[in-house]
Amino acid sequence: MAYLLILLLSLFFLIRTTLMFIGLLKGPIITLFEQYGGQEKLFLPLLPLVGWTGGLLIGLGGWAVSSPEAQAALAGLGVVLVLATYLAYQDLPLITEFHVNYLPYPRWYHELLERTTRYERRRIAYMWLRLSWRTRLMYNSNSQVFLIWADFIIMGTVMEDDSTDHPGNRGA
């Protein structure tokens, strides 16, 4: 029963991470932009993909396969993948450099990182929370439309900053 639970949870999160990786699920990534504080967290899709694949193999090895040798092989490979993911999280700067240089997925995320400041990304994240679920679905499925919407948020942020800095708008 535990293997079935591991299998189903891993399958759910593997599908979720795959949708985020290919750019069809933006919400969980955008929530990373909301956080205040020190270092901004980056979305590194390869690590969760490998980890949840390992969990899926552990669940398959314990539940779906009848041969003991195949169970041991699948579960062993799954444990290796989960341990590799854990070790990769221990050396996060190296993995971050790999992701930024060699794995620029999802593309909308890396494009947004390149052309916005942290403050602008935070504004985008808070405006995302105000969208209806239908609008979010539309932006999830079309990255170009999402980036146009993000440009409007960025322009609004710049215009708001300009209007507050203008000497004629300051109170006496």
Q: Please give the residue range of the domain that contains residue 130.
A: 2-34+41-165
Per the structure block, which two tokens stand in for 52?
Answer: 């949840």
pLDDT, tens digit, 9 for 90 and up, residues 149-164: 999 999 987 766 666 6
Q: How many distinct structural domains can be found in the chain? A: 1
Residue 170 within any structural domain of the chain: no
Cis ω for the linkage preceding 106 (within 30 of 0) = yes
Residue 140: CA count within 13 A, CB half-sphere = 19
**Cβ(3)–Cβ(59) under 8 Å?**
yes
Task: Specify if 172 maps to a domain.
Answer: no
d(CA 87, CA 38): 23
* Average pLDDT, integer, range 21-41: 87
**pLDDT score recorded for residue 172:** 43
Residue with token string 């440009």: 151
Of 147, 3, 18, nearest in space to 75 by CA: 3
| pLDDT per position as a tens digit, 48-105 | 999 999 999 999 888 777 788 888 899 999 999 999 999 988 888 888 888 777 887 8
- In a domain, residue 117? The reply is yes
Specify the pLDDT at position 160.
66
The residue among 106, 129, 118 whose CA lies nearest residue 154 is 118
CA distance 110 to 143: 12
